[in-house]
Amino acid sequence: MGVLTPATPSSSDAFVLRTPSGAEAATRLRHERPQKRISGTVEVKNDFAARSSGDGPLNGRGMTVSFVGLGYVGLCTAVAFADRGFDTLGVDVDPERLALVEVGRAPIHEPGLERLLKKAVLSGRLHVSDDLADVAQTDVIFLTVGTPSRFDGSIDTSHVERASREVGAALRSERDMRLVVVKSTVVPGTTRSVVKPLLEESSGKHVGVELGLCTNPEFLKEGSAIEDTFHPDKLVIGGIDGGSVDRLKRLYRAFYGEEMPPTIETTPETAEMIKYASNAFLATKVSYINTIANIAQLVPGLDVEQVASAIGLDPRIGPLFLRAGPGYGGSCFPKDVRALIAFSRERGYDPGLLAAVEKANERQASKVVELSEKLVGSLEDKRVAVLGLAFKKDTDDVREAASIRVIHRLQDKGARVTAYDPMAIPSARRVLGTAVEFAADPKSAIDKADCCIIMTEWDEFRCLKGKDFAERMRKPNVVDARRLYQRDELEGVNVLAIGMGRSSSVQEHPAPDAKVLA
């Protein structure tokens, strides 16, 4: 994280953001902001205002777009629009994030993001603002704020509500029609019964008459967010009125040209449910193959990987999302499965299948810890190297990552943890604090360790060979929770992999408290 310090001893309201690499960008603290801030110059604003024609040009090409919330979804989509030549505005409440984006530095790790961001800023196609009122200068306003979990698993819509209210207020005095698009993941009914009334009340306009509203859930994957934005498998548009749907399709036709993805036009409720059904199904596949893996583990000679590739040949099953591992994580699957369960229970139906998916996922972390106990016995005072913290490779996101669950369980059992990740150490440090030692590279992470657990499938970890584990570790015990290595790659190493049946060459200890998994 950067720290905000006064730019000069004499200036009290201008602050300089010092980022970890020393780059500096001037920004103002929001509560001290004496005037609206928008990147670029006054001409920039005029440019937006001049281009914006409310209903948008008929071919969609000249439409201007804005994104409220510059996280994984908002920022990646904004740079993609800027790259395709659209004048794009990004708004966020986080001054540090804005200061980085404004100078073309990505606040998150996504392959290809920083290159496109720099290009977008340099070309003048992407501007940022900390004032949500500026979205009034754009034709289409995407809401891309977060929808985190509440304690009971239901989603917290407070960011969506605040954004809706502020967008509505910003549009109050605008005469031209604007289109608001809910891209955040929200449970069925939210667009119609939460966003619409807030927009109407704060704008004084009627949705479908003077103001457009659609829901358009996002399906991009972290780690390939840019690629997914340019090449999605589908677009889902839920509209209250036909005019809004047509306008959004016009924008997307201008964006995708000949490569317009298959588009599902439906009600907002169905669109919202498609997103949850999609993520819940993928989470179910993960928990399903992990359950099969745990059974496979008990049978000498059985390997879940071959089981998965064989069943994946059946077109009714398909090959994807059948990799056994430490359980799903990230900002979407856990929260979306929980939200769907809570949503369903609130309406009187207990979705037992989804509850079992979630429970199996939670227990998978204990399964990983159990494998390390089989290799080293009691974990009390043992040094465990955890390789990989991000919930999957090619991202720095550790939200609900299996690595965090595993590390907490290791610590509960008295282990001393050293961790390494090529990208996610800063975000993991915020969650794990000082109780975990962070290593500078994979080799130093495994130095003198009693056990190494591979938690993320980063390609970088493939540089470790059997002899590295044998020479550097106190004992070469490896739990391959991602099935990163082939059996013969780690000769001389005591390896247990998720879903790999017992092998006579592995020295196992009886698990000290096997009841964890009972």
Ligand X SMILES: NC(=O)c1ccc[n+]([C@@H]2O[C@H](COP(=O)([O-])OP(=O)(O)OC[C@H]3O[C@@H](n4cnc5c(N)ncnc54)[C@H](O)[C@@H]3O)[C@@H](O)[C@H]2O)c1
> Torsion angle of alpha carbons 233, 235, 236, 241, nearest 10°?
-170
Would you say 148 or 243 has its CB closer to ligand X?
148
CB of 381 to ligand X, least distance (A): 38
Q: Are strands 437-438 and 451-454 parallel, antiparallel or unpaired?
A: unpaired
Instruction: Give the one residue of 2, 28, 66, 72 binding ligand X; rule: CB under 6 A.
Output: 72
3-class secondary structure per residue, 293-321: HHHHCCCCCCEHHHHHHHHHCCCCCCCCC
Would you say 199 or 386 has its CB closer to ligand X?
199
Would you say 183 or 383 has its CB closer to ligand X?
183
Beta bridge partners of 386: 419, 453
In the block, residue with structure tokens 């948008």: 56
Would you say 97 or 483 has its CB closer to ligand X?
97
Decide if 98 contacts 114 (C-beta within 8 A): no
Give the DSSP per-residue string, 256-307: HGGGPPPEEEE-HHHHHHHHHHHHHHHHHHHHHHHHHHHHHTTSTT-BHHHH
Q: Which stretch binds ligand X (CB under 6 A): 117-125, 158-166, 285-293, 410-418?
A: 158-166
d(CA 138, CA 134): 8
Q: Which stretch binds ligand X (CB under 6 A): 142-150, 236-244, 407-415, 491-499?
A: 142-150
CB of 251 to ligand X, least distance (A): 18
Q: Which of 214, 332, 451, 452 is catalytic?
A: 332
- Residue whose Cβ sits closest to ligand X: 71
Decide if 272 contacts 191 (C-beta within 8 A): yes
Half-sphere exposure of 210 (CA within 13 A, CB side): 14
Would you say 329 or 476 has its CB closer to ligand X?
329
Instruction: Give the one residue of 25, 103, 132, 453 binding ligand X; rule: CB under 6 A.
Output: 132
Give the DSSP per-residue string, 322-362: ----S---SSSHHHHHHHHHHHHHHTT---HHHHHHHHHHH
76 given a catalytic annotation: no
Does position 229 bind ligand X by CB under 6 A? no
Decide if 156 contacts 148 (C-beta within 8 A): yes
CB of 166 to ligand X, least distance (A): 7
CB of 225 to ligand X, least distance (A): 7
Q: How many residues bind ligand X (CB under 6 A)?
A: 27
Does position 69 bind ligand X by CB under 6 A? yes
Give the length of the chain. 518
Does position 68 bind ligand X by CB under 6 A? yes
Does position 150 bind ligand X by CB under 6 A? no
Interface with ligand X in residues 172-211 (CB under 6 A): 184-185
Does position 220 bind ligand X by CB under 6 A? yes
Q: Which residues are catalytic?
A: 332
Chain positions contacting ligand X, by CB under 6 A: 68-74, 91-94, 97, 132, 144-147, 159, 162-163, 184-185, 218, 220, 222, 331-332
